[in-house]
Structures are given as C-alpha cells and as structure tokens.
C-alpha cells in the first residue's frame, strides 16, 4: 500500500528526504536538493525566522486555521496535539489534500511520511520546516480518516 501512495505521490517527494529520514535526522538532510513542489519546498527549520505553533484538537480544528506568509519565507511549523486522538498536519494544495484524504480513507493503515507532513501523538509536538516559494493559497489538513471531512483544514495565504 505504501507503494501505491508512492506511485501517486512520487512527484511530491523531495529526493533528499525520500528514504525515511525522520525530523531528528534533519542535520543530515541536504535542503539544497529538496524538490520544488507547487506549494514550496522542504527547508531547514533552524533557518526559519518565524515559528508558527499550530494546535490540533479532537474538535477537528487547527488553531490558527489561517495564516499569511511572505513568498520566500521559511516557516517552522510546530503542530501541537492537544487532543486524545492521533492528528497530523499535512501541507499541500486543496486538490492534493483531497486526493490524499481519499487514499487514506481507502487504506486506513497506510503509512505515509514526507517532509511536508507531521504525525503527532496526543500531548506531543511535531516540526515541519517549509519555504513557501509560490504566491497563492495553500492548505494544511489532517488526513486521518474522517478528520479532514470534519473540517480539519487550515489555510496559508502566501503573498508576493
Ligand atoms: Cu486529526
């Protein structure tokens, strides 16, 4: 099943991080080789001038549910799980998130791990370093089956 996801998501896998490296191994990642995706690229969270703490709740909400960043800005996201359920923060376009959510529904046990997502256990915090290289509207969603559909989605407005 992982294979199926990879086949579908292959265009979105930054080469340098495609082999199961965890956030803890970030120092070993060559971010200069991170693939440019339609919604930006993986970036070293230590280079971020801005940290955005995003709380995730069992009410199926992100807080904040909306933020504005400047094009080119590197953001260090710290998703914090305030609930009792597993939640995740996945960055992407609305189209990609919807497709991915469908896939998760079809294959609930599916493992997925990419630099633009963080799975966060109850009471824990994760980290995503991301550079928004394109202006436009992008999103973050929780793709645990049922959560996205319940409205667990937030918006990133990237201004030029
Ligand atoms: Cu969730």
Centroid of ligand 1 to alpha carbon of 34 (angstroms): 27
Q: Which two tokens stand for residue 110?
A: 């599916």
- When pLDDT is cut at 50, 70 and 90, the band that residue 14 belongs to is very low
Centroid of ligand 1 to alpha carbon of 62 (angstroms): 9
Centroid of ligand 1 to alpha carbon of 78 (angstroms): 15
Q: Note the pLDDT of residue 71.
A: 97
As a dihedral over the C-alpha atoms of residue 124, residue 29, residue 137, residue 11, rounded to 10 degrees, the angle is -110
Centroid of ligand 1 to alpha carbon of 98 (angstroms): 14
Side-by-side strand order, sheet with 128-131:
41-42, 128-131, 74-81, 50-57, 61-63
Mean pLDDT value across residues 74-81: 98
Centroid of ligand 1 to alpha carbon of 140 (angstroms): 11
Centroid of ligand 1 to alpha carbon of 37 (angstroms): 24
Centroid of ligand 1 to alpha carbon of 110 (angstroms): 15
Q: Residue 9, Cα to own-chain centre: how many angstroms?
A: 13
Centroid of ligand 1 to alpha carbon of 108 (angstroms): 13
Q: Note the pLDDT of residue 61.
A: 98
Q: pLDDT tens digit string along 63-73? A: 999 999 999 99
d(CA 78, CA 118): 9
Q: What is the DSSP letter of 148?
A: T
Contact between 13 and 44 under an 8 Å Cβ cutoff? The reply is: no
d(CA 112, CA 130): 18
Report the mean per-residue pLDDT for the chain: 86
Centroid of ligand 1 to alpha carbon of 42 (angstroms): 22
């Amino acid at each position: 099943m992982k294979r199926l996801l990879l086949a579908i998501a292959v265009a979105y896998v930054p080469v340098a991080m495609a082999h199961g490296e965890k956030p803890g191994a970030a120092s070993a990642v060559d971010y200069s080789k991170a693939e440019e995706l339609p919604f930006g690229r993986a970036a070293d969270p230590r280079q971020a001038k801005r940290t955005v703490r995003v709380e995730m709740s069992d009410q199926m909400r992100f807080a904040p549910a909306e933020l504005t960043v400047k094009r080119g800005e590197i953001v260090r996201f710290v998703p914090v799980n305030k609930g009792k359920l597993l939640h995740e923060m996945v960055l992407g376009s609305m189209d990609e998130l919807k497709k991915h959510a469908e896939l998760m529904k079809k294959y609930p046990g599916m493992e997925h791990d990419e630099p633009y997502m963080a799975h966060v256990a109850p009471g824990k915090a994760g980290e995503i370093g991301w550079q928004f290289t394109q202006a436009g509207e992008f999103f973050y969603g929780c793709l645990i089956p049922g959560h996205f559909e319940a409205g667990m989605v937030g918006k990133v407005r990237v201004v030029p």
